[in-house]
Amino acid sequence: MTQNQAAHQRKPSLLLYFFAGLYFKLAYGRQFNLKVSGPSIKGPAVILSNHTSNHDYKFIALSAYPRRVTFLSTYHWFTFKRLAPWLKRIGAIPKYQFTTDVLAMKRIKYVVQKNKGIIFIAPEGTIYGSGRLSYIAPSICKMLKFLKVPVYAARIQGAGLGNAKWNKVQHRGLVHVDKSLLFSKEEVLSLDSEVMLKRIKEALAFDEFEFQKEYDVHIEGDRRAEGLDDLLYKCPSCGRELTLKTENNHIECTACKARAEVDDRCRLVWEGPIQYMDNYSQWYYWQHDQLKKEMEDPLWRMESQVDYGIDEPGLNSYVKVGSGTLSLDRFRWLYKGSHMDESEYIEEEPVGAIALATLKMGVHIELPFKNGHCRVFYINPDGRLAMKWHLASRIITENLNKEGE
């Protein structure tokens, strides 16, 4: 198959999409109490949205239904034996995260310009779990200018309350998808990239707890705190790390015994006179700011023992192929250890080459595609520290962008 042939992208299966959309509408529309507003979308077009939960693709599909949407998805999901055939049938496009992927770009262009279709892109690139809009790479503007079609914004709100990425249980709450025309084709071609990026951020900006307050959202069911200790690694009371544990609706520090309940508004109610944070979003950004202060030290450095993993097509998980140490400072990422048959293996990359370390909360971080594989690092002895590595990579990129302004 030639590169041009490979770039041809099939349309989502009409029959599969119709019945899947109908099922989503009946099942998930009620489960998430989904409300959709805004104009109908007709291709060729791009839909941009914030990335709030693992269910975002359902919300976007339902917001455009019965129009078929082609989804841009991380390449890793296409290595799953059972999932990959379904992704191909609905016409999803695999893309390597936070790196240039020429073939994916050709497929995206084919969808909108040849098929006159609708492509969905989440420009944050990953789910931060912060409850607010996070980092968006300026390169999204270059992509939109390359595609030369109208662009719509679909702002998702509420999913981070009842169905946050860190939460172990799905809860019924309220989810809104508000659609709007972001750029006409003429604006895509004529507007300055800085103006475009500013407008994208404004259109997708959200705050889950302002939304909760405005609509008085209440979350049904218990186990509302379970998994929150994968997002939060630092205690706001004593400052210790990896001492938090969750059970049912409560989160507690095992060191200083600070304890809070996640109530049915998804807000924190602390035992005792001090109310440290009102919600997990404030806690997330407090961790961010605390780590940013640490990183102001010219000698700042992180290091962890890790297992090295790579994807293997046909399996449903990563395969561990080595172990060693992973370190990060203000200048470089460095892995030293074993890999495949090599007992003394080194990978070194400047910080500017890695925009973001994505993560599976509580388990591992993932760095961009290299040597034919997606690669992950399982943080030992406690995978919950993956969030700190993720935040450190985000802060470094934020600082580099400021230096470049």
* Angle in degrees, CA 383, 78, 368, rounded to 5: 50
Shared-domain flag, residues 246 and 287: yes
Shared-domain flag, residues 208 and 323: no
Sheet holding 342-350, edge to edge: 342-350, 332-339, 319-329, 301-310, 373-380, 364-370, 358-360
Query: pLDDT for 200-210, tens place per residue?
Result: 999 999 999 99
Q: How many domains does the chain have?
A: 3
Q: Check residue 15 and give its pLDDT.
A: 75
Sign of CA dihedral 348, 351, 356, 358: positive
Q: Indicate the pLDDT class of residue 405, thresholds 50, 70 and 90.
A: low
Shared-domain flag, residues 119 and 165: yes
Shared-domain flag, residues 287 and 313: no
Query: pLDDT for 20-44, tens place per residue?
Result: 777 777 777 777 889 999 999 998 9
Rounded Cα distance between 119 and 269, Å, is 41
Q: Has residue 223 been placed in a domain?
A: no
Query: pLDDT for 233-269, tens place per residue?
Result: 999 999 999 999 999 999 999 999 999 999 999 999 9
Mean pLDDT of 318-335: 96
Per the model's pLDDT, the better-predicted residue between 335 and 405 turns out to be 335
The residue from 159, 191, 215 where one domain ends is 215
Shared-domain flag, residues 96 and 123: yes
* Tokens representing residue 241 in the block: 């790390």
* Tokens representing residue 278 in the block: 């009102």
Shared-domain flag, residues 201 and 232: no
Q: Has residue 338 been placed in a domain?
A: yes
The kind and range of the H/E element at 287 are helix 280-294
Shared-domain flag, residues 89 and 183: yes
Instruction: Write out the DSSP string of 160-195.
Output: HHHS-TT-SS-----EEEEEEEEE-HHHHHHS-HHH
Shared-domain flag, residues 57 and 184: yes
Shared-domain flag, residues 9 and 129: yes
Q: Has residue 74 been placed in a domain?
A: yes
Rounded Cα distance between 186 and 35, Å, is 30
Q: Is the pLDDT of residue 361 over 90?
A: yes
Rounded Cα distance between 271 and 133, Å, is 30
DSSP state of 121: E
The residue from 294, 312, 328 where one domain ends is 294
Q: Has residue 141 been placed in a domain?
A: yes
Rounded Cα distance between 123 and 49, Å, is 7
The residue from 267, 294, 321 where one domain ends is 294
3-class state of residue 310 by DSSP: strand
Q: Check residue 313 and give its pLDDT.
A: 75
Q: Check residue 230 and give its pLDDT.
A: 96
- For residue 344, give the CATH number of its domain: 2.30.29.30
Q: Check residue 295 and give its pLDDT.
A: 97
Rg (CA), the chain: 21
Give the residue numbers spanning the domain of 385. 301-404
Rounded Cα distance between 97 and 115, Å, is 24
Mean pLDDT of 94-115: 83
Shared-domain flag, residues 66 and 178: yes
Q: Has residue 81 been placed in a domain?
A: yes
Mean pLDDT of 327-351: 95
Q: Which residues contact 318 (CB under 8 A, 6 or more apart)?
A: 309, 310, 311, 312, 364, 374, 376
Mean pLDDT of 361-370: 91
Whole-prediction pTM: 0.90
* Tokens representing residue 27 in the block: 């099942």
Q: Has residue 120 been placed in a domain?
A: yes
Q: How far is CA 110 from CA 14, 106, 115, 171, 332, in A?
A: 18, 6, 6, 38, 37
Query: pLDDT for 294-313, tens place per residue?
Result: 999 999 999 999 999 998 87
Q: Has residue 221 been placed in a domain?
A: no
Of 74-88, 97-111, 351-365, least confident by mean pLDDT is 74-88
* Tokens representing residue 373 in the block: 């594989």
Q: Is the pLDDT of residue 90 over 90?
A: no
Sheet holding 151-157, edge to edge: 34-37, 175-183, 151-157, 45-49, 118-121, 69-74, 93-95
Rounded Cα distance between 376 and 378, Å, is 7
Mean pLDDT of 185-195: 97
Shared-domain flag, residues 125 and 25: yes
Shared-domain flag, residues 141 and 165: yes
Rounded Cα distance between 353 and 356, Å, is 9
Q: Has residue 220 been placed in a domain?
A: no
